[in-house]
Amino acid sequence: MEWKRINRKLERHPARAVIYSFALADIIGAILLWCPFSHVKTLSFIDALFTSTSAICVTGLTVVNTAQDFTHLGQFIILVLMQLGGLGVMTFSVFIALGFKDSLSFSSRLSLQESFLPHFTPEPRKLLFTIFAYTFISEALIALGLFLCFLGHGLGIKVSLAQAIFHAVSAFCNAGFSTFNDGMIDFQKSYAVLALIALAILLGNTGFPIVYELLSFFKEKRHKLSLHFKLTVYTHVALIIFGTVAFLWFDSAGAMAGLSWPLKVVTAVFHSVSARTAGFNSIDIAHFSEHSIYVFLILMVIGACPGSTGGGIKTTTFAVLSCTVWSRLRGFPQAVAFKRSIPVDQVGKAVTLVFIYLLAIMLFHFFLTFTEPNIPFYKSQHEFLGALFEVVSALGTVGLSTGVTSNLNLWGKICIILTMFVGRVGLLSLISFLSEVGHEPRPYRYPKERVMVG
Amino acid sequence: MEWKRINRKLERHPARAVIYSFALADIIGAILLWCPFSHVKTLSFIDALFTSTSAICVTGLTVVNTAQDFTHLGQFIILVLMQLGGLGVMTFSVFIALGFKDSLSFSSRLSLQESFLPHFTPEPRKLLFTIFAYTFISEALIALGLFLCFLGHGLGIKVSLAQAIFHAVSAFCNAGFSTFNDGMIDFQKSYAVLALIALAILLGNTGFPIVYELLSFFKEKRHKLSLHFKLTVYTHVALIIFGTVAFLWFDSAGAMAGLSWPLKVVTAVFHSVSARTAGFNSIDIAHFSEHSIYVFLILMVIGACPGSTGGGIKTTTFAVLSCTVWSRLRGFPQAVAFKRSIPVDQVGKAVTLVFIYLLAIMLFHFFLTFTEPNIPFYKSQHEFLGALFEVVSALGTVGLSTGVTSNLNLWGKICIILTMFVGRVGLLSLISFLSEVGHEPRPYRYPKERVMVG
Ligand SMILES: [K+]
Ligand SMILES: [K+]
Residue pLDDT, tens place only, B6-50: 566 555 566 677 788 888 999 999 999 988 888 888 888 999 999
Residue B220's region, left for phi above 0, alpha for psi from -120 to 50, else beta, is: alpha
Whether a cis peptide bond, with omega within 30° of 0, leads into B277 is yes
pLDDT at A10 (0 to 100): 52
Is residue A341 within 8 Å of residue A334, measured between CB atoms?
yes
pLDDT at A11 (0 to 100): 57
Residue numbers of the domain that contains A403: 2-436
Whether the per-residue pLDDT at B374 is higher than 60: the answer is: no
Nearest CA in chain B to A439: B331
Identity of the residue in B339, B380, B452 whose CB atom sits nearest the CB atom of A316: B452
Whether the per-residue pLDDT at A451 is higher than 50: the answer is: yes
Residue B454 lies in a domain: no
pLDDT at A112 (0 to 100): 46
Whether the per-residue pLDDT at A236 is higher than 90: the answer is: yes
pLDDT at B120 (0 to 100): 53
Average pLDDT of chain B, as a whole number: 83
Whether the per-residue pLDDT at A106 is higher than 80: the answer is: no
Query: A274 CA to middle of ligand 1, Å?
Result: 8
pLDDT at B444 (0 to 100): 63
For chains A and B, CB pairs below 8 A equal: 259
Q: How many domains does chain A have?
A: 1
CB atoms within 10 A of CB B373: 12
CB atoms within 10 A of CB A355: 17
Those of residues 240-299 in B touching chain A at CB distance below 8 A are: 290-291, 294, 298
- What ranges make up the beta strands (E) of A222-342? 335-337, 340-342
Dihedral over Cα of B292, B298, B301, B303: its sign: negative
Chain B contact present for A313, CB below 8 A? yes
Residues B327-339: what's their mean pLDDT? 81
Name every chain A residue with its beta carbon within 8 A of the beta carbon of B372. none
ipTM here: 0.84
pLDDT digits (tens, 9 = 90+) for A190-212: 888 999 999 999 999 998 888 88
Identity of the residue in B328, B331, B351 whose CB atom sits nearest the CB atom of A324: B351
Chain B contact present for A333, CB below 8 A? yes
pLDDT at A124 (0 to 100): 76
pLDDT at B419 (0 to 100): 92
- Report the residue of A330, A377, A450, A451 to disrupt the B interface, i.e. the one with the largest count of B CBs within 10 Å: A451
Taking the CA of residue A332 and the nearest CA in chain B, the distance in Å comes to 7
Identity of the residue in A114, A352, A454 whose CB atom sits nearest the CB atom of B431: A454
pLDDT band at A107 (very low <50, low <70, confident <90, very high): very low
Those of residues 365-384 in A touching chain B at CB distance below 8 A are: 366, 369-370, 379-384
Nearest CA in chain A to B304: A454
Query: A181 CA to middle of ligand 1, Å?
Result: 17
pLDDT digits (tens, 9 = 90+) for B205-249: 998 888 888 887 777 766 678 888 889 999 999 999 999 999 999
pLDDT digits (tens, 9 = 90+) for A268-325: 999 999 999 888 988 888 888 888 888 999 999 999 998 888 889 999 999 999 998 8
Residues B148-156: what's their mean pLDDT? 87
pLDDT at B381 (0 to 100): 43
pLDDT at A100 (0 to 100): 58
Residue B225 lies in a domain: yes
pLDDT digits (tens, 9 = 90+) for A110-146: 444 555 555 455 677 888 888 899 999 999 999 999 9
Chain B contact present for A40, CB below 8 A? no
Q: Bigger pLDDT: A72 or A10?
A: A72
How many residues in chain B? 454
Distance from C-alpha of A71 to C-alpha of A41, rounded to nearest angstrom: 10
pLDDT at A80 (0 to 100): 93
Taking the CA of residue A434 and the nearest CA in chain B, the distance in Å comes to 7
Residue B446 lies in a domain: no
DSSP reduced 3-state for A342: strand
Write out the residues surrounding ion ligand 2, Cβ under 5 A.
Answer: B 60, 174, 176, 279, 399
Chain B contact present for A133, CB below 8 A? no
Those of residues 410-449 in B touching chain A at CB distance below 8 A are: 427, 430-431, 433-434, 437-438, 440, 442, 445-449
Query: B389 CA to middle of ligand 2, Å?
Result: 14
pLDDT digits (tens, 9 = 90+) for B64-75: 888 888 989 999
Distance from C-alpha of A119 to C-alpha of A128, rounded to nearest angstrom: 19
Residues A405-433: what's their mean pLDDT? 85
pLDDT digits (tens, 9 = 90+) for B413-442: 888 999 999 998 888 888 877 776 655 556
pLDDT digits (tens, 9 = 90+) for B283-318: 888 888 888 888 999 999 999 998 888 889 999 999
Q: Check A334 against B342: CB less than 8 A apart.
A: no
Q: Check B437 against A319: CB less than 8 A apart.
A: no
Taking the CA of residue B372 and the nearest CA in chain A, the distance in Å comes to 12
Residue B407 CA to chain centroid, in angstroms?
24
Residue B450 lies in a domain: no
Average pLDDT of chain A, as a whole number: 83
pLDDT at A379 (0 to 100): 44
Chain A contact present for B322, CB below 8 A? yes
Residue B451 lies in a domain: no
DSSP reduced 3-state for B443: coil
